Every structure is written in structure tokens, then in C-alpha cells.
Amino acid sequence: MTSHIRTITVDCADPYTLARWWSAVLDRRLGDDDHPGDPEVILLAPDGAGTDVLFIQVPEGKIGEPRTGHHRFHLDLMPTDQTRDVEVERLVGLGATLVGDHRKPDGTGWVVLADPEGNEFCVERSPAERASAI
């Protein structure tokens, strides 16, 4: 018997605002009954296939306060129709913050960004960039 990941849950201060931001990043739509002020907001997987992303309001931490502990897990994004560098610029334009740049001269590596509430995520090379390196 096995399990699969049905939902990735993100603890946050403002679920609706953060879900809307991630909606632009992932090109996903919010649930039909999600509205500003809701304590839970979901980003639906395309065509019901894949993993939903659920944003849940938690009492700890407030918007703008720095995180004091290490993140226990994060998302790794891989752009599908553009290069890693173009995707990083797009995400920074949407409001992401550069946390760490681990790109190497040979094109390998990744970039660590943070969303508007400070949740870190990485941007890796696209499949085309990986294939051209072989």
C-alpha cells in the first residue's frame, strides 16, 4: 500500500493574498469559494490532476516579521517554457525576494527566492537547459 501527496499546505498570515501571489507564479486558479479574509484558501491543480496547494492562516508570526528558524521544507520550481534566469526575473517582478544565488558559470545551480511572507523556494533549470548540458 502507498500514499500520494494530495495537498501541500503553507502556513501563513494572509492566505488569500499569498495564494493570489502563488496563483500568478504557478498559473493556477483559486477555489471558487475563496475570498479575502478566508482562513483557508486553495490553489487547484490544473484539471484536477496533481497536487493542490492549500494556504492556512496560523496565529504565529506576523507579516513583515523575520523568520527565526530554518525552513523544514520548501518548493523547487522548474520553469517549463522559459529559462531559469527569465523565470527568476519574472518572479522578482511579481514581488519575490532574492535570498541566495547558487548559479554556476557552467549553467548549473539554482536560485533561492522568498515569497511575500518570507517562505523560501528554489528555481532550477528548465528541462531544455538540462538537456542542452548533456
Q: What confidence tens digit (pLDDT) does each residue in 91-132 have?
A: 999 999 999 999 999 989 999 999 999 999 999 999 999 888
Domain boundaries, the chain: 1-61, 74-134
Give dist(CA 103, CA 21) in Å, integer.
25
- Asked whether this chain's domains 1-61 and 74-134 adopt the same fold, the reply is no
Written out in words, the top-level CATH class of the domain with range 74-134 is: alpha beta
Looking at residue 48, what is its pLDDT?
76
What is the tens place of the pLDDT at every residue in 68-89?
A: 666 667 898 999 899 999 999 9
Q: Quote the longest CA-to-CA distance of the chain.
A: 48
What's this model's pTM, rounded to 2 decimal places? 0.81
- For 11-56, the pLDDT digits (tens) are 888 999 999 999 999 999 999 999 999 999 999 999 878 899 999 9
Would you tell me which CATH number, out of the four given (3.30.720.120, 2.20.25.90, 1.25.40.10, 3.40.50.1220), belongs to the domain 1-61? 3.30.720.120
Contacts of 11 (CB under 8 A, 6+ apart): 56, 58, 60
Residues in the chain: 134
